[in-house]
Chains A and B, each alone.
Chain A
Amino acid sequence: MLAYYLRLAWISIRQSPGLSFLMVLAIGLGIGAAMTTVTVNYLMSANPIPHKSEQLFYVQLDSWDPHQPANENGDPPDQLTYRDATALLAAKKAYRQVIQAQIGAVVEPDNKDSLPFQVSGRANSADFFAMFDVPFLYGGGWSENADAEMQQVIVLSQGLNERLFGGKDSVGQKVKLAGDYYQVVGVMANWQPRPRFYDVTTGAFNEVEEFFLPFSHISTQKISRNGNTNCWKPSGEGYQAFLESECIWTQMWVELRNDSEKQQYLDFLNAYVSEQKKLGRFERPINNRLSDVMQWMQNQQVVAEDANLMMVLSLMFLLVCLLNTIGLLLAKFLSKAPQIGLRQALGASRQHLFAQYLTEAGCIGIAGGLLGLLLAWLGLQGISLLYGDEMKGLAQLDVAMVALAMLLALVSSLLAGLYPTWRACTVQPSQQLKSQ
């Protein structure tokens, strides 16, 4: 039966090529626009570490100015002071914990012919690699001891290892960085979580850094920090005073395996702040937060506002295209009234007619969906072109999106076809036959 319906649909589509083309175009444009924006949103709002995103928590303490809140909505500041971060790390109350900050340094290759170059890096404590499931090509992270003893160890990204050592296993080799030699303990395999959830304050879709070294090196001031620093209270003279100041520039994540661990950790944070209050710090009401990965992504508005705006508009655009298709299908099917009357008189049941016209609507939908996919692909190319690096890796179609596009096209065209089909099937055969 389906083959017969398909043949009838094909004949009918060929009878009015202009109109059919218009319908396919309308659905195609609607689906294309919707899929372009939905894809960008879907990739922006993806869970970067699905298997443990509910066990990783971003730590916030409200150490801000007693006279005004850090954020208008009452949220605590988005980073920690160095003194609080190091104190919480030392307390080791979570299953795993990491403190970190973004840094940068100049690498001087041993080869006298190559010029020194600037690289982006991260200073982090030892648990970083285990907590965030960082894949390694060679070697691995460093131990807690390395942190505490400020050992000159370093983990390289695959790219930097390629540049410095031609991609060979460089574990045990030395790299001259920021004027000092660091020993390579590990080389990461390709790793690019999107969003780069572990630090969204410096750009949620930035590249992963090129090197990692123990956080304790920050205290020597040899390594230059380049993340965000915010102060509500002037710090004293000198670097030591800066480290002890109320300036926030350090970030902390903890891994807590279940609700009771989370509750215990929150209690610990509250106790810590109460203790600090006695020292005259933390003059604001207690406002400590633990946000899991997806909560933190939402809080930091990782999905850009423009992306949401475009999605809303493109869905409305799809609606216009569907209204268009309904109108055109209605016109088309109603013009077939004489034919429908004739077929009914010859014994075709309403169900059969219904199935047949819906098949036709579905065919147009699938054709529109295919066109829509092409347009979505073009749209995403356009978006990468317009936004450049900002959208790197965020403008690609994957299997799920292709399937969604086809489903959306089919469902929306069937929905659009429902009313026109119903109207076509309620044609009175006698009247149609009479007028002939």
Chain B
Amino acid sequence: MLELGPIFRALLRQKVGAVLIALQIALTLSIMVNAIFMMQQRSEQMARPSGLDEANLFYLSNTVFGENYNHKAALDDDLRLIRGIPGVLDATQINAIPLSGGGWSMSLQNKAGEGENGIGVAVYMVDEHGINTLGVELIKGENFQSTDIEWRAASAVDWPARTMISQAMAESLFPGKWESALGQTVYINNNEPMQITGIIKTLQAPWNGWDGVERSMLVPYQLEGRNNRYLIRTEPGRRDELMPIIEKALAESDKNRIIRSVTSLEETRNESYRGHNALNKILMLVIVVLTLITAFGIVGLAMFSINRRRRQIGTRRALGATQLQVMRYFMLENLIISSLGVAIGVGAAIGLNIWLVSKFELKPLEPQLLLAGVVALYLVGQLAVLYPARKAAAIAPATATRSV
């Protein structure tokens, strides 16, 4: 009932055109599937929560240049000033900003001593307002008390006695039983003990490309230094209004320093994932244009093959073929070509993926995606051939009787 036999034999008579289309479909499939896969991976990375109340956070840099400056007194004044401004929920000094790409990392180990296995972790130095300012959720233990906060001189090298760590860090230190991390002693700088007094649900490290990005620790420290940062959390929706107000208030309160780089955490996130975002947009464009090119190629070739076979089609119609049967002929023809293309394409997609995995930091392809790509290309082929097929069906039976 289906004219597969005749279609196939007709195709064999014009192999090259069919093979060219099939190759195009194959390449399109392999590029499309791999590109979508890359986009998915990046989107997943971007979707990871930082744990912070990102929408209402901003930070600024405070650079001191005055001589004989009392850093401790200035910090206390600044924090009192910021926290007193209406609309500010909380504020803290902090040494690094999540997502920003710049920060401090240390390593913690279960046992004291050199050569023991250490686990890398991002360090955030905050006071007792840290948890509330960041907006992170403390799921076990207790927040720092104001009496826990130590003053860290610029040249200091030792560490306070307590720390709060993220759940992912707890899991890395105590695999399978992160809850048990609370109250345990771990070691920093090989030998210095620190007690875990709290576990935080999620708090990302500053480096989004790091495979330990979920591992972080809070340390009860205030820092001395000519360059430091304040992180400020506002009431919902008041961030943009408060950013210039706080900048001005700080700048005017003390002329021996510069307030600069007032940045919202949203901007930081955008900047941090800018490359990912850009590549995803480019890949999207590539996929769309590529599919269009392939579709137009199919249309162009089908139109030509139909024009060459006008008399033949007319004859078929004169012999009683319905319009639907003529259309079906070309749709089936495309299905055969697409099948060849898709068959080569699946192989090529896997091959390309293997090569990409070996050359770049990519993961192996998921089979569902490949299947979706196959279905998509069959659809594109059928849609593309629809217009030429309808043109063919419209050829009048009388054409058979006319000469060229």
| Neighbour of B65 across the interface among A179, A305, A382, A435, CB < 8 A | A179
A321 to chain B, nearest CB (A): 6
A328 to chain B, nearest CB (A): 5
Determine if B258 and A224 form an interchain contact, defined as CB atoms under 8 angstroms apart.
no
Determine if B21 and A327 form an interchain contact, defined as CB atoms under 8 angstroms apart.
yes
The segment out of A92-100, A143-151, A329-337 that lies at the interface is: A329-337
| Neighbour of B300 across the interface among A22, A116, A118, A316, CB < 8 A | A22
| A234 located at the interface, meaning its Cβ lies under 8 Å from any Cβ of chain B in the complex | yes
**A26-46 contact mask (Cβ, 8 Å, vs B): 1 or 0:** 100100010000000000000
Scan residues 202-234 of chain A and give those whose CB is less than 8 A from a CB of chain B: 224, 226, 234
| Known contacts A236-B157, A387-B278, A390-B274: A323-B23 contact under CB 8 Å | yes
A257 to B30, CA, bound (A): 49
Determine if A237 and B301 form an interchain contact, defined as CB atoms under 8 angstroms apart.
no
Determine if A33 and B286 form an interchain contact, defined as CB atoms under 8 angstroms apart.
yes
| B20 located at the interface, meaning its Cβ lies under 8 Å from any Cβ of chain A in the complex | yes
| Neighbour of B275 across the interface among A306, A317, A326, CB < 8 A | A306
Determine if B65 and A309 form an interchain contact, defined as CB atoms under 8 angstroms apart.
no
| Known contacts A116-B258, A316-B31, A386-B277: A327-B24 contact under CB 8 Å | yes
A391 (CB) vs chain B CBs: closest residue: B278
B156 (CB) vs chain A CBs: closest residue: A237
Determine if A319 and B300 form an interchain contact, defined as CB atoms under 8 angstroms apart.
no
Please give, as numbers and ranges, the residues of chain A lying within 8 Å of B21 by CB-CB distance: 327
The segment out of B242-250, B304-312, B392-400 that lies at the interface is: B304-312
Please give, as numbers and ranges, the residues of chain B lying within 8 Å of A388 by CB-CB distance: 274
Please give, as numbers and ranges, the residues of chain B lying within 8 Å of A237 by CB-CB distance: 155-157
Please give, as numbers and ranges, the residues of chain A lying within 8 Å of B34 by CB-CB distance: 313
Please give, as numbers and ranges, the residues of chain B lying within 8 Å of A321 by CB-CB distance: 293
Determine if B360 and A320 form an interchain contact, defined as CB atoms under 8 angstroms apart.
no
| Neighbour of B301 across the interface among A312, A313, A316, A328, CB < 8 A | A328
Looking at chain B's contact residues, the main secondary structure is: helix
Please give, as numbers and ranges, the residues of chain A lying within 8 Å of B110 by CB-CB distance: none
Scan residues 200-258 of chain B and give those whose CB is less than 8 A from a CB of chain A: 226-227, 258
| B76 located at the interface, meaning its Cβ lies under 8 Å from any Cβ of chain A in the complex | no
A25 to B299, CA, bound (A): 14
Which residue, A237, A304, A317, A335, has most C-beta atoms of chain B within 10 A? A317
| B112 located at the interface, meaning its Cβ lies under 8 Å from any Cβ of chain A in the complex | no
Determine if B28 and A320 form an interchain contact, defined as CB atoms under 8 angstroms apart.
yes
Determine if A317 and B290 form an interchain contact, defined as CB atoms under 8 angstroms apart.
yes
Determine if A310 and B157 form an interchain contact, defined as CB atoms under 8 angstroms apart.
no
Determine if B115 and A117 form an interchain contact, defined as CB atoms under 8 angstroms apart.
no
| B356 located at the interface, meaning its Cβ lies under 8 Å from any Cβ of chain A in the complex | yes
Please give, as numbers and ranges, the residues of chain A lying within 8 Å of B356 by CB-CB distance: 309, 312
Please give, as numbers and ranges, the residues of chain A lying within 8 Å of B28 by CB-CB distance: 320
Determine if A234 and B275 form an interchain contact, defined as CB atoms under 8 angstroms apart.
no
Determine if A179 and B67 form an interchain contact, defined as CB atoms under 8 angstroms apart.
yes
B349 to chain A, nearest CB (A): 11
B159 to chain A, nearest CB (A): 10
Please give, as numbers and ranges, the residues of chain B lying within 8 Å of A328 by CB-CB distance: 297, 300-301
A309 to B157, CA, bound (A): 43
Given contacts A106-B65, A179-B67, A324-B293, 18 further A-B contacts (CB under 8 A): A33-B289, A116-B65, A178-B65, A235-B157, A239-B155, A305-B361, A306-B275, A312-B356, A313-B286, A316-B30, A320-B290, A320-B293, A323-B23, A324-B296, A331-B304, A386-B277, A386-B278, A387-B274
CB pairs A–B below 8 angstroms (7 shown)? A236-B157, A241-B157, A305-B360, A317-B286, A323-B20, A324-B297, A419-B16
List 4 A-B pairs, minimum CB-CB distance, nearest first. Answer: A386-B278, A331-B304, A106-B65, A327-B20
